[in-house]
Amino acid sequence: MTDRSESDRLQQENWLQRTVRRPEIGAFIVMMIIIVALAMASGGKAFNALGLKNNIAIIAQLGIIATGAALLMIAGEFDLSIGPMIAFAGMSIAIMMKWGLPFGLGEATPFLAFLITLIMTLAFGWLIGTIVVKSGLSSFIVTLAFWFFLRGLTEVCFRLINQNTNVSGLPDFKKESWFAEQMGGEVFGWFYDAWYWIGTKIAAGVEFTGDMTKSEKIDLINYLSFLNINRKMEQWVTGFDARLFWFIVIAGAAWYVLARTQLGSWIYATGDNKESARANGVPVNRVKVGLFMFSAFCATIFATCQVFDTNSSDAAKGMFKELEAIAIAVVGGILMTGGFGTIVGVVFGAVTFGLVANAVFFIPWIDGAWFRVFVGTVLLAAVFANERIRKRITGGI
Amino acid sequence: MAEKSYMRVENVVKKFGPFTALDGVDLDVTPGEIHALLGDNGAGKSTLIKILSGVHQPTSGTIYVDEKKVFFRNPRDAAAAGIGTVYQDLAINQLMSVTRNFFMGRELTSTFGVLRMDDMDKIAHEEMKKIGIDFSDPSQAVGTMSGGQRQTLAIARAIYFGAKVLILDEPTSALGQKQQMEVLKTIKRVRARGDIAIIFITHNEIHSKLIADRYTFLALGKVIGAGTKKELAGEDIRRLMAGGAEISDLEQELSVI
C-alpha cells in the first residue's frame, strides 16, 4: 500500500493509445474521409495534375490565415478583422500599383507597395491588440468594430482614389518583379517537372491517332492528366501556386514556435490562465498584441498573393474569411477558450476545408452551397469533440 | 535555537486608511524550521504574507533578511531576496504540462528562445522527486494531477527558483484528507533539507501540531501568542486558535442559544 502513489493511478499508455488520444486525431480522420470521398466522387480528377494544384492553392490560402487565427485563439483571443484586413491590404497594394506611392513619391514597385501596406496592417494589428489588452474588453467586440471600420475604410479609399470599388486589369508584374513572382507566381516547379518526366516514361508510345473515337480521346486525355501531360503531349502543369510556399513557411514557423520555443510556452500560458501566467512573469499583454499583429501579417500575405496572382483587387475581397479561419482552427482542435491546440491540427483542418470548398469544381452535380452546410455540421461536431478533450485534461471525465 | 534566523520581522504595522490590519507584529523564521502562522479569518495573516512577499508595503516596521534591512517595493524584490510564496490558487495552468508549468515564465532556452525541453523535463522530474512525487511523464497535463500533487509542483518550483523562505498560504485547505497528508509530508521533506525556512499558514490546529516547530498566533492584527512547540501546551494552542477565547466560554455561549 505504501509504495503506491498518486501518479500510479494515471494509466501508462502505449504508442497507439497515445496517437488515438492526440487532439489532432479528429481533424485527421475527417480529412482522410474527405480526401477519399472527393477522390471517388470526382473520379480522381480532384487529384490529377491540375486538380492537385488548384486544391493546394485554396488549402494554402485558407491555411495562411487559419494559422494566424489559431495562434491568437490559443492565446485566448479572437480576430474577426481578418477578412476586412485582407480587403484593406489588397486595396492598398492594388491602388499603389496603379496610382503610385502616396504623397507623390513616384512609381511603386511590388515590394515597396507590399512593405508600406504591411506597415499599415501591422499598425492596425498593434492598435487592435493594444485596445484589447488595455481595455480588458472582449476581443470579439473590439475586432467586430474593426471589421466594420476596415470594410468601410477600404471601400472609401477605393472610391476616393480610384472612383470605383475595384482595381482591375493591372499589368502582370510577375514577369519583371521577382517579389511579385514569389507572391503570385508558381513554386516547386521541380515537382511537376518530375511528375511530367515520370509521366513521359509511363506513357511512352501513347499518342492520339486519327482513328480514335471521341470517347476514346476523352479517356486518353483523362489518363494523361494523371501523368501531367496535356493533349498536345506537352507538360501540362508547371508548378504550384506560390501560396503553398508561404503556407509552408508560416505554418512551419508557427509550429516550431509553439512546440519548441519559449514564446510558444508563453502563448499557451497566456491562453490557459492569464493571471497565473502573469504571476509567473509571462508578458501576457505583449504576447497578445504580438499575435494580433501576426494575424494582420497573415492577412497581408494572403492579400498580396491574391493581388499579384490575379492582377486585381476589389472591396469585397476576403469576405467571410475571418469566419472560415476561425472554423478551421476549431476543426483543427484549437479550444475556443484558449490554451490548447496544435498547428498540425490546423493544417488538417485547412486541407479539409480547402478540398470541400473546391469540391464543386470536380463534382459537377453538387451544389456549391453544400460547402456551408458541411462547414456548419463539422464545426459543431468539432466544438463538442474539443470540449470533451478539454474536460478529459482538466479532470472532468 | 542555535540556528540564526533568515528573516526577521519587527514591529510591522499596516494601515489601510483608518483600518489597522496589522498592529506591531513580530515574526522570526529560521532555516530548517516550520513556522506555523495561525489565526482566524481577518486576523491579519493574509496582510502579513502580502507584506512579506512584496505585494503590500508596511506602514511602519522593519524586515531583515540575513540581518540586512530590506524594503520590498514589489513581488520581484521579494523573490530576489529569496521569498517564495505559494498562493492558494498556485498560479498553475491546467492544460499545460508539468514541465511547462514548472518553468512557466522562466523557461530554459538556448539561442533564439528555443526551449531546452530535455533539460527542463529532467530538472522538473528531479526537483519534484526530491520532495515526494516521482513523475514518469513530465509531459502530463497538470489538469490530470491531484490537488496535492499540484501543491507539490508549486512548492518544488518555488524552491528551484531560489526560495530561502517558503510561504505556504493554506496549502492543506480545499484538499481531501489523504492529499492533506501528502502535502504535510512534502512540507516535512522541505524542512529536512535544512536550508529553507517555511512559513505555514493554516486554519487547521491538527496540521500545525503535526509538523510545526514554532508558532505565531494572530488575532485582530496583533500577535497574541508565540513560541516553540515545547513552550506551548496543547490546550493553549486551541485557545489561541480561537482568537484567545476559551473553548469553555464558547461552549457556554452555544448552549444558551
Beta bridge partners of B14: B22
Distance (Å) from the alpha carbon of B120 to chain A's nearest alpha carbon: 12
Distance (Å) from the alpha carbon of A32 to chain B's nearest alpha carbon: 28
Can you give the pLDDT at residue A43?
84
Can you give the pLDDT at residue A255?
96
Lowest average pLDDT, out of A151-160, A252-261, A326-335, B134-143, goes to: B134-143
Domain coverage including residue B37: 7-91+164-256
Residue A13's pLDDT band (boundaries 50, 70, 90)? low
**DSSP symbols for A39-76:** HHHTTTGGGSHHHHHHHHHHHHHHHHHHHHHHHHHHTT
Q: For the residues B186-193, what does the mean pLDDT come to?
A: 89
Exposure string over B173-197, b if 16+ CB within 10 A, otherwise e: eebeeebbebbbebbeebbeeeebb
Model confidence pLDDT, tens digit, residues B104-122: 888 898 888 899 988 999 9
Is the pLDDT at A2 greater than 60? The verdict is no
Nearest to A277 among B104, B143, B149 (CB): B104
Model confidence pLDDT, tens digit, residues A102-117: 887 888 899 999 999 9
What would the grid cell of residue B47 be? 496582510
For A24-186+242-393, the fitting CATH number among 1.10.3470, 3.40.50, 2.60.40, 1.10.730 is 1.10.3470
* Cα nearest neighbour of B114 on chain A: A261
Q: Which of A2, A5, A6 has the most B C-beta neighbours within 10 Å, making it the best mutation to test the interface with B?
A: A6
Q: Which residues of A touch B103 (CB under 8 A)?
A: 265
Question: Are A261 and B94 an interchain contact pair (Cβ–Cβ within 8 Å)?
Answer: no
Residue ranges of chain A assigned to CATH 1.10.3470: 24-186+242-393
Can you give the pLDDT at residue A230?
85
Question: Are A7 and B133 an interchain contact pair (Cβ–Cβ within 8 Å)?
Answer: yes
ipTM for the whole complex: 0.79
Q: For the residues B36-56, what does the mean pLDDT come to?
A: 86
Which helix (H) or strand (E) segment is B10 a member of? strand B7-16
Query: What mean pLDDT, rounded, does chain A reach?
Result: 89
Nearest to B144 among A261, A264, A395 (CB): A395
Can you give the pLDDT at residue A1?
40
* Cα nearest neighbour of B85 on chain A: A279
Model confidence pLDDT, tens digit, residues A56-74: 999 999 999 999 999 999 9
Question: Are A276 and B90 an interchain contact pair (Cβ–Cβ within 8 Å)?
Answer: yes
Query: What mean pLDDT, rounded, does chain B reach?
Result: 85
Nearest to B105 among A5, A280, A393 (CB): A280
- Classify B32 as helix, strand or coil: coil
Model confidence pLDDT, tens digit, residues A187-198: 999 999 999 999
Whether B109 is covered by a domain: the verdict is no
Q: For the residues A155-172, what does the mean pLDDT come to?
A: 92
How far is the C-alpha of A164 from the C-alpha of A162, rounded, in Å?
5
Is the pLDDT at B233 greater than 80? The verdict is no
Model confidence pLDDT, tens digit, residues B161-175: 888 999 998 888 878
Domain count, chain B: 1
Within chain B, how many helices (H) and strands (E) appear? 9, 10
Model confidence pLDDT, tens digit, residues A136-145: 999 999 999 9
Can you give the pLDDT at residue A248?
97
Residue A220's pLDDT band (boundaries 50, 70, 90)? confident
Q: Which residue did the predictor score with more confidence, A308 or B139?
A: A308
Q: Which of A1, A12, A18, A265 has the most B C-beta neighbours within 10 Å, making it the best mutation to test the interface with B?
A: A265
Can you give the pLDDT at residue B134?
78
Asked if A168 reaches chain B (Cβ–Cβ under 8 Å), the answer is: no
Whether B178 is covered by a domain: the verdict is yes
Can you give the pLDDT at residue B1?
44
Residue A10's pLDDT band (boundaries 50, 70, 90)? low
Is the pLDDT at A352 greater than 70? The verdict is yes
Beta bridge partners of B197: B165
Can you give the pLDDT at residue A102?
84
* Cα nearest neighbour of B102 on chain A: A280
Q: For the residues A263-274, what does the mean pLDDT come to?
A: 92
Residue A372's pLDDT band (boundaries 50, 70, 90)? confident
- Cβ-based neighbours of A373, under 8 Å, separated by 6 or more: none
Asked if A393 reaches chain B (Cβ–Cβ under 8 Å), the answer is: yes
Is the pLDDT at A305 greater than 90? The verdict is yes
Residue B2's pLDDT band (boundaries 50, 70, 90)? very low
Local structure of residue A235 (DSSP, 8 states) = B
* Cα nearest neighbour of B107 on chain A: A262
Question: Are B105 and A272 an interchain contact pair (Cβ–Cβ within 8 Å)?
Answer: no
CATH at B29? 3.40.50.300
* Cα nearest neighbour of A279 on chain B: B91
